[in-house]
């Protein structure tokens, strides 16, 4: 992976810390919860933490935040690891699990109880919410706040031993119920949860909350710069409170950046899971999904995704990146790397009346006009060919330069053909179009100097392969999904035309050797990737041109 030329306020902080001696090396981490697959928003956090460690010669950890066993699964553990390796963000600092530190979290909770900084509370979830207050009103102390250290230690151990049902007891940090930051109003740091853990099994029936466990994990691993999205900014005082009161010698620090918002895209893992579970999409890796597995299956590259994140910038202010910029990044890359091939989505047969019945000849066509070293390939030409239905009109509009009655067009890389007649099927559809070819034109200009404006793509009817082609448009019709009203749901903006499948398309013979994951430009159509699940299918990566101007 190339080191991108990126400057941002986080790098400024890191350089200042290194120059001042506050730290002597950089250690970062990415802490995903294994309750779903990573999406492109996750890629920004990976990019920031991994590239910072790489730029300054530090280490980068992958740490699974598996402190909530109800939604976590080994399937997501595996997919997250595959996604990170695919991006090229090798966790050279190690791969860890939050559950690796459950014993230490418990030990430090006991320490806080002994210091009079934590207590066991019997309030229900509803009561806890009422006692918490609001942004304009202070909270109220729990009636259990002043329990003795001995009573708290006894109750906390009994919580661990499974004596209490779910929701009956919590362990709370003792801070300040009048604090202006509601996260500091005696937050819950442990809860009772009789649920088996995907790694720990039934060892624990109490689990630490993320805001408590995360700073402990960072401190133990020696993380120097804990960089996370802006929604955790108000949690930073609690992060510091945990680190300070446990007494870690080397204290990690948290820094926040604006999360990645993308037009026509939903980043909620809970909602993305719903789309999967209800069959709206065919899995987390559906090419319409904003997941990394979906983008990978669709044909996006790690380079294009990281370039997109670089161009969107890293700051603290809220913004929404246009998805067309992501499309531009992959298009810009594939324009120089993808070989060209011909695919006819809606084949219509054309019979070249003056061409020999059994003759097969080959035209040499460039594999990539932007890369002379890509060479050429031989494309068969025969008496019967296929053109796309969109390239013929019986009643053409003005300035229609494709095939039409009494008109002629250039077959890309081949002859000029002229319309002669048409044969319809009983249902009125086109059975075949009869043409004649200017057999002296070859793939050059007509000998009489006449101008032929239109050029269309084609494949031989007998020397071709068949394939299915999926065309995609945006999964959501609303541009900024954050603008959805309180009484609305994402479902109301699902695009019913986000997928159009073309069956039994005619594609050129050379695609018979393509393997899943190969990317091509289908000339005049778009960029496509051979599907990894359905090997006879090609998925649209992006169209040939930007749908709107791209701001760089």
Contact 177, 139 (CB under 8 A): yes
CB atoms within 10 A of CB 375: 11
Nearest-angstrom CA–CA distance, 215 and 297: 35
Nearest-angstrom CA–CA distance, 7 and 544: 31
270 is catalytic: no
Contact 269, 16 (CB under 8 A): no
Tokens of 464: 């071709």
Contact 340, 413 (CB under 8 A): no
Contact 109, 156 (CB under 8 A): yes
Contact 299, 337 (CB under 8 A): no
Q: Is 397 exposed, middle or buried (0-12, 13-18, 19+ CB in 10 A)?
A: exposed
259 is catalytic: yes
519 is catalytic: no
Nearest-angstrom CA–CA distance, 181 and 249: 26
Catalytic residue among 44, 191, 269, 383: 269
SS3 state of residue 255: strand
Pairing of strands 537-542, 464-472: parallel
Nearest-angstrom CA–CA distance, 539 and 532: 10
**165 contacts: CB under 8 Å, gap ≥ 6:** 192, 194
Contact 178, 134 (CB under 8 A): no
Nearest-angstrom CA–CA distance, 537 and 501: 10
Nearest-angstrom CA–CA distance, 333 and 352: 38
**120 contacts: CB under 8 Å, gap ≥ 6:** 144, 147, 151, 152, 155, 156, 159, 169, 170, 171, 172
φ/ψ of 73, rounded to 5, equals -155, 150
φ/ψ of 503, rounded to 5, equals -100, 145
Exposure string over 196-231, b if 16+ CB within 10 A, otherwise e: ebbbeeeebbbbbbbbbbbbbbbbbbebbbbbbbee
**Closest CA relative to residue 456, chosen from 537, 354, 346, 339:** 346
| Kind and range of the H or E run holding 363 | strand 361-366
Catalytic residue among 259, 402, 420, 474: 259
**Closest CA relative to residue 347, chosen from 395, 390, 403, 401:** 390
SS3 state of residue 47: helix
Contact 143, 130 (CB under 8 A): no
Q: How far is CA 276 from CA 36, 266, 282, in A?
A: 10, 13, 6
φ/ψ of 419, rounded to 5, equals -65, 140
Nearest-angstrom CA–CA distance, 16 and 10: 10
Tell me which residues are annotated as active site.
33, 259, 269
């Amino acid at each position: 992976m190339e080191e991108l030329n990126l400057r941002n306020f986080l790098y400024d902080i890191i350089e200042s810390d290194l120059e001042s001696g506050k730290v002597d090396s950089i250690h970062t981490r990415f802490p995903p919860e294994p309750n779903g697959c990573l999406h492109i928003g996750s890629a920004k956090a990976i990019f920031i933490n991994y590239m910072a460690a790489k730029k300054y010669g530090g280490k980068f950890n992958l740490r699974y935040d598996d402190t909530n066993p109800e939604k976590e699964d080994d399937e997501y553990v595996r997919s997250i690891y595959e996604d990170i390796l695919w991006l090229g963000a090798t966790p050279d600092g190690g791969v860890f699990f939050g559950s690796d530190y459950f014993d230490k979290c418990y030990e430090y909770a006991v320490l806080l109880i002994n210091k009079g900084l934590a207590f066991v509370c019997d309030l229900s979830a509803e009561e806890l919410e009422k006692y918490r207050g609001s942004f304009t009103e202070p909270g109220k102390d729990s009636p259990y706040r002043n329990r003795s250290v001995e009573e708290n230690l006894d109750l906390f151990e009994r919580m661990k031993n499974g004596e209490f049902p779910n929701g009956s007891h919590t362990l709370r940090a003792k801070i300040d119920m009048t604090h202006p930051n509601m996260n500091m109003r005696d937050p819950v740091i442990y809860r009772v949860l009789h649920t088996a853990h995907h790694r720990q099994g039934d060892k624990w029936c109490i689990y630490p909350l993320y805001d408590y466990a995360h700073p402990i994990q960072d401190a133990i691993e020696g993380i120097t710069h804990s960089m996370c999205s802006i929604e955790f900014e108000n949690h930073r005082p609690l992060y510091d409170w945990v680190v300070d009161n446990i007494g870690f010698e080397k204290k990690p620090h948290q820094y926040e950046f604006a999360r990645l918002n993308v037009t026509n895209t939903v980043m909620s893992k809970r909602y993305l899971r719903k789309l999967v579970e209800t069959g709206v999409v065919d899995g987390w890796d559906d090419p319409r999904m904003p997941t990394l597995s979906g983008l990978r299956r669709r044909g996006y590259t790690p380079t294009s995704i990281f370039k997109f994140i670089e161009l969107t910038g890293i700051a603290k202010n809220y913004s929404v990146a246009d998805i067309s910029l992501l499309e531009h990044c992959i298009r810009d890359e594939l324009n120089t790397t993808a070989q060209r091939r011909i695919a006819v989505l809606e084949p219509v047969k054309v019979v070249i009346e003056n061409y020999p019945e059994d003759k097969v000849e080959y035209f040499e066509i460039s594999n990539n006009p932007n890369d002379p070293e890509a060479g050429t390939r031989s494309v068969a030409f025969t008496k019967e060919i296929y053109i796309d239905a969109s390239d013929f009109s019986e009643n053409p509009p003005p300035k229609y330069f494709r095939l039409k009655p009494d008109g002629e067009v250039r077959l890309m890389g081949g002859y000029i053909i002229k319309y002669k007649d048409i044969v319809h099927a009983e249902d009125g559809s086109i059975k075949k179009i009869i043409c004649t070819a200017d057999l002296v034109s070859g793939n050059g200009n007509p000998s009489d100097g006449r101008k032929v404006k239109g050029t269309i793509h084609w494949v031989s009817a007998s020397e071709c392969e068949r394939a299915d082609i999926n065309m995609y448009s945006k999964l959501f019709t609303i541009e900024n999904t954050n603008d959805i009203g309180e009484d609305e749901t994402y479902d109301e903006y699902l695009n019913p035309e986000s997928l159009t499948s073309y069956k039994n398309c005619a594609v050129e013979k050379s695609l018979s050797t393509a393997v899943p994951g190969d990317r091509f430009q289908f000339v005049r159509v778009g960029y496509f990737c051979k599907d990894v699940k359905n090997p006879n299918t090609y998925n649209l990566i992006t169209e040939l041109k930007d749908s709107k101007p791209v701001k760089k």
